[in-house]
Structure formats: C-alpha cells, structure tokens
Amino acid sequence: MVKRFDGREYNELRKINIKLNVVDNAKGSAIFSFGDTVALAAVYGPKPSKMSLDYDKAFLRVRYNMLTFSTPERKKPTPGRREIELSEVIKRALEPALLLEEIPGSIVDIYIEILNADAGTRTASINAASLALSLAGIPMKDLVVGLAVGKIGEKIVVDLNKEEEDYDSEKLKKDPEKSKYIEYYGEGRATDIPVAIIPSEKKFTLIQLDGEISNKELNDALNLALEKSLEIKNLMKSNILKHLSSSGNFIY
C-alpha cells in the first residue's frame, strides 16, 4: 500500500529529537527536530533593560536565522526578508503564553539558528524556543507547541516535509518513480498550515495558510493539529522533567 513519501501515516509526525541545555552560556537552550529539520534556540535574560523601564512588562526579542549550510544550496549569510518576518511570527506565537508582566523592566532575548532545513523550520523553532524559555525560568502558563498541518493533493496530513510542501500531481505524472504517490495524495498541489498552540487552553497563537483549502478541510486540519499538539507537548514536558531531575535541579 502506498503511504506518504517517507512512509508515514497521514497523522504521523516525523521523528522528534530533543536535546536540552546545549549552549553553556545561555540561561536556557534546546535543540528540537522534526525529522531532518533541526532548530536550536538559546535564551538570554531576563536582563535589566533601560529600553523596557517604561513598560510594565518585560520586552521579548526574537532573532530567527538560517545557517548557510542548513539548505541543500548554500544560503546567503545575511538575514533576508523571510528571516526578519519569521522572527516576528515566532515572537507573536510565543508571547501569549509568557507572563512578561511578572518580570517588568527587563529584556529576554531568544536566538534561533536553523541547523538543517527540510520544511517546518518555524514550527520546530517555536518548540525549541518554548523549551529554552522554560529552562531559563521565564514565567509562562504553558509550553507553546508549533506544528504544521496541511492538505497535499486531496489528503489532510500532519508535519509536512519539503518534498510534500513542493507537491504537484501534474509534475509527478512525468516522474515514473514518484507517480505512484498520486494514488495516496490525490490531484493538486500542497497547502501548508503552520500553527502554534497553547495546549492547556486549546488556543491557537499562530495560524498561517499558504495555498487553498475548504472550510471543512481547514476544520479537520486544525483538529488534527490540536490532537497532535498534545503528543508533542507531552514529549517536551517529559524531556524537561528528565533533564531537570538528572541535573539535580529538581526533586520529583
């Protein structure tokens, strides 16, 4: 039976890998990967800031960067428009879960580096940042979970890889090795929907949509995202608990 390009079921995430506190000098840091997409986040702060003295809450700064070797073709080192926009998108996805009013007059910096990219870098970044923020002790009401859902051809799936994001049944028809996948996905192209969720509140803090989808399909895709966000959150949480107990910082 034909399945997804990489053999997954429609509701199956890529393999998740989590490594915690990997940057010595950061207050908290984490690597989060969805398959071949690998994001590193490092949190510095809260530090006192003149910039935010006028504010009644801390100031959050996010910088998302793709490393030159993260893509098959060397990426230019200078931050492009996409990176500037994604920094803002990630900041807005995280902020609703942070209790920044509890640390007024300070600044929190999050540096995100994409070590390898195979689609879903913004969602892997949100998870890495969320883990790093919690290790840094930044007050938050829950972990924010990022993941992508989407429609490929006519099929709703979770956690698209790059080959799926680039899906086009017309192109596949000309490829004798890959045309069998049309049987699984159906006709059409891909619609990618990266989302971020505060699982305890079932609240979306990010929904982006690139492509076309009906209301019913969007509803199905978002419900699939809600369901899978719990699986990711549980994995993130168990990794934090394991890390804190093994580093002697936590008595369970």
56: tokens are 């009644």
Question: Does residue 194 touch ligand ADP according to CB under 6 A?
Answer: yes
Torsional sign, CA 156, 157, 159, 165: negative
Least Å from the CB of residue 36 to ligand ADP: 9
Phi, psi of 37, rounded to the nearest 5 degrees: -95, 115
Q: Which is nearer to ligand ADP, 52 or 229 (CB)?
A: 229
Which residue of 91, 162, 178, 203 would you call a contact of ligand ADP, by CB under 6 A?
162
Which residue of 87, 106, 111, 118 would you call a contact of ligand ADP, by CB under 6 A?
118
Q: Which is nearer to ligand ADP, 115 or 244 (CB)?
A: 115
The stretch near ligand ADP (CB under 6 A) out of 2-10, 68-76, 135-143, 212-220 is: 68-76
CA dihedral 66, 70, 76, 78 (to 10 degrees): 20
State the CB neighbour count (10 A cutoff) for residue 116: 17
Question: Does residue 65 touch ligand ADP according to CB under 6 A?
Answer: no
Question: Does residue 120 touch ligand ADP according to CB under 6 A?
Answer: yes
Question: Does residue 146 touch ligand ADP according to CB under 6 A?
Answer: no
Give the bridge partners for 203, in sequence order: 198
Q: In angstroms, rounded to a whole number, what is the distance separating the alpha carbons of residues 199 and 171? A: 38
Least Å from the CB of residue 104 to ligand ADP: 32
The stretch near ligand ADP (CB under 6 A) out of 51-59, 71-79, 95-103, 198-206 is: 71-79
Distances (CA, A) of 126 to 31, 55, 73, 194: 11, 25, 24, 11
Which residue of 42, 107, 110, 117 would you call a contact of ligand ADP, by CB under 6 A?
117
Which residue of 19, 61, 63, 75 would you call a contact of ligand ADP, by CB under 6 A?
75
- Residue 203: exposure state from Cβ atoms within 10 A (0-12, 13-18, ≥19): middle
What is the residue-wise DSSP string for 4-50? Answer: -TTS--TTPPPPEEEEE---TTSSEEEEEEETTEEEEEEEEEEEE-S
Question: Does residue 92 touch ligand ADP according to CB under 6 A?
Answer: no
Q: Which is nearer to ligand ADP, 52 or 121 (CB)?
A: 121
Question: Does residue 122 touch ligand ADP according to CB under 6 A?
Answer: yes
Question: Does residue 71 touch ligand ADP according to CB under 6 A?
Answer: yes
Question: Does residue 40 touch ligand ADP according to CB under 6 A?
Answer: no
Q: Are the beta carbons of 36 and 161 closer than 8 angstroms? A: yes
Q: Which is nearer to ligand ADP, 138 or 148 (CB)?
A: 148
SS3 192: strand
Residues binding ligand ADP (CB under 6 A): 71, 73, 75, 82, 117-122, 162, 165, 194
